[in-house]
Amino acid sequence: MTVARPHLPADGLIVVDDVTVNYDGGAPVLIDVDLTIEPGDLVGVVGPSGSGKSTLLKAMLGTVAPVSGSVRRAPGLAVGLVPQVETIDWNFPVTVAECVGMARARGLRTPWITRSERSEIANVLDRLGLSGLGGRHIRELSGGQQQRVFLARALFTNAQVIFLDEPTSGLDVRTRHDVLHLLDDLNRDGLTIVLTTHDLNGIAAHLPTLVCLNRSVIGAGRPDEVLVPDVLERTYGSPMDVLEHGGMRVVVDAPLEGNVTPLRRTGGGGATA
């Protein structure tokens, strides 16, 4: 993943080049954003509500057109999207297998899931720990299982890049860890993953690469480069302290009391855009 390179590499899967987006001529939601997603990336986009995280995903997916700049995708690139669970209609009549099967919607397809597709779906469900749940209605699953059904649907498109919008919102700590480990596994197998998250300590700090967004890219790099008070304050608009605990960054968004010593302005070299 690279940011603000003057000459964008040709080998990026998705190249966001100086992109500005607004809705219906309103104030810009994204301003001059540069970002390149390369094969094998696992990137987390963090920022406050209204910072343009979802819009950045939409711009990369091509469902929102920039007013200036361009988004270039590698020719024939297959993408998958895992939506926020809050946007799902849980009363909609789909079984797990139907939900995954609908992903192959392009070109001429049979209405029913073919025999070879059925075994592919079984494999994907196996891989995600959902074996034997194909006939269940999506509402009958636990929160973590529900999240994984939509991940399975994205995988079933044979996507090379998968986008996840707030994949861990509403999940408990353990389930959140499971999802994180699963994404890490998939990434090790070669899947490129881009996700948005509110969760700085539970998710962002564990990802290899972060983009701090507040309409424009405030900082990008490894967690130890960008989870620093300076970048966080400019991203979130309020002072935040950062602790170091067992080699991990821990962001504290409340004033620290007592005898803990926060990291101040450690200045991750080249972390800011």
1 or 81: CB nearest other proteins: 81
With beta carbons less than 8 A apart as the criterion, state whether 18 and 45 touch: no
Site string for other proteins, 115-144 (x = CB under 8 A): ----------------------x-------
* Minimum separation from the CB atom of position 81 to other proteins (A): 4
Candidates 1-9, 88-96, 224-232, 259-267; binding stretch for other proteins (CB under 8 A):
88-96
Listed in sequence order, the residues at least 6 apart from 33 whose beta carbon sits closer than 8 Å to its beta carbon are: 16, 18, 19, 20, 52, 56, 59, 69, 213, 216, 217
Question: According to CB under 8 A, which one of 65, 92, 126, 142 is a site residue for other proteins?
Answer: 92
For residue 223, the SS3 value is: helix
- Tell me: does residue 269 bind other proteins (CB under 8 A): no
Name the segment binding other proteins (CB under 8 A); options: 34-42, 86-94, 229-237, 255-263: 86-94
Q: Is 89 in the site for other proteins (CB under 8 A)?
A: yes
Contacts of 245 (CB under 8 A, 6+ apart): none
Which of 226, 213, 214, 204 is closest to 271 using CA atoms?
226
Residue 163 binds to other proteins (criterion: CB under 8 A): yes
Establish if 148 lies at the interface with other proteins (CB under 8 A): no
**Is 45 within 8 Å of 220 (Cβ atoms)?**
no
Minimum CB distance to other proteins smaller for 66 or for 229: 66
75 binds other proteins per the rule CB under 8 A: no
| Count of beta carbons in the 10 Å neighbourhood of residue 218 | 23
Strand extents, DSSP E, 42-122: 42-46, 68-73, 79-82
b/e string for 105-137 if b means 16 or more Cβ within 10 A?
eeeeeeeebeeebeebbbebbebbebeebbeeb
Contact 162, 80 (CB under 8 A): yes
Binding mask 100-119 for other proteins (x = CB under 8 A): -xxxxxx-xxxxx-------
Which residue stretch of 57-65, 173-181, 210-218, 264-272 sits at the interface with other proteins (rule: CB under 8 A)?
A: 57-65
Interface size with other proteins, residues (CB under 8 A) = 33
List residues binding other proteins (CB under 8 A).
58, 61-63, 79-81, 83, 87-89, 92-95, 98-99, 101-106, 108-112, 137, 154, 157, 159, 163
